[in-house]
């Protein structure tokens, strides 16, 4: 995943309102009006959040007449998940090597004391 895209996704996900919006979209497509229900945010505020999610590639918007229909864009989330998996594998391997080093060092020190 391109670094700039990854940065914009994490920036978008940093906001709890946007995460809740994505959770709602995970249940299925909905209009911006439907998505806004339950938030104590103005319509311009909701639109701003939608635009940030759209620019980050986390949702797609389709305009049908006057209705803005939004749906989750799972490919972007899969890209983030893949990046996180790579980080987890890297750090697990690094920490395993560090553990082995200290285990081997401790064994060698005990052997030398005997």
- Structure confidence at residue 1 (pLDDT): 53
Question: Mean of the per-residue pLDDT values for the chain?
Answer: 89
Who has greater pLDDT, 71 or 5? 71
Q: Is residue 35 part of a domain?
A: yes
What is the model's pTM? 0.74
Task: Specify the CATH number for the domain of residue 24.
Answer: 1.10.10.10
Q: Is residue 26 part of a domain?
A: yes
- Structure confidence at residue 114 (pLDDT): 63
Closest CA to 60 of 44, 77, 42: 77
| Dist. CA 113–CA 100, nearest whole Å | 20
Q: Is residue 44 part of a domain?
A: yes
What would you report as the CA-atom Rg of the chain, rounded to the nearest whole angstrom? 22
Instruction: Read off the pLDDT of each residue in 11-34 and give the average, rounded to a whole number.
Output: 95
Distances (CA, A) of 30 to 5, 15, 48, 95, 109: 24, 20, 17, 44, 64
Q: Is the pLDDT of residue 109 over 80?
A: no
């Amino acid at each position: 995943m391109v670094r700039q895209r990854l940065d914009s996704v994490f920036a978008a996900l940093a906001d709890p309102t946007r995460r809740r919006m994505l959770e709602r979209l995970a249940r299925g497509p909905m209009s911006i009006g439907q998505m806004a229900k339950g938030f104590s945010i103005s319509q311009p505020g909701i639109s701003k959040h939608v635009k940030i999610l759209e620019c980050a590639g986390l949702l797609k918007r389709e305009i049908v007449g006057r209705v803005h229909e939004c749906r989750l864009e799972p490919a972007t989330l899969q890209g983030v998940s893949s990046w996180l998996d790579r980080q987890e594998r890297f750090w697990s391997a690094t920490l395993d090597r560090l553990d082995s080093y200290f285990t081997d060092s401790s064994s060698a020190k005990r052997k030398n004391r005997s």
